[in-house]
Amino acid sequence: MPYSSIDDLPPPLQVRLPLHAQEIYLAAFNNAFAEYSDRTPEDQESTAHRVAWAAVKKQYRKKDERWVARDPA
């Protein structure tokens, strides 16, 4: 199910990810959820989560227990 706002993201994401990373996750998840609407509901949601994490990982990396922005290339 798409998320309407950052407040709707799962609590672990809200606690661990910086605000900008949460915005990336939200946008990527909702876009992928719509893109993969031809799949079963379970596949659609799991694929959307994978796409969202991939989008976050393009701009953030985990350092120790925190997510930090990647250095610009």
Task: Residue 59: name the closest of 42, 44, 73, 40 by CA.
Answer: 73
Element (H, E) at 61: strand 60-63
Q: Please write the tens of the pLDDT for every residue from 6-65.
A: 999 999 999 999 999 999 999 999 999 999 999 999 999 999 999 999 999 999 999 998
- Give the pLDDT of residue 41: 95
Spell out the residues 6+ positions from residue 45 whose beta carbon is closer than 8 angstroms to its own: 1, 33
User: pTM for the complete prediction?
Assistant: 0.93
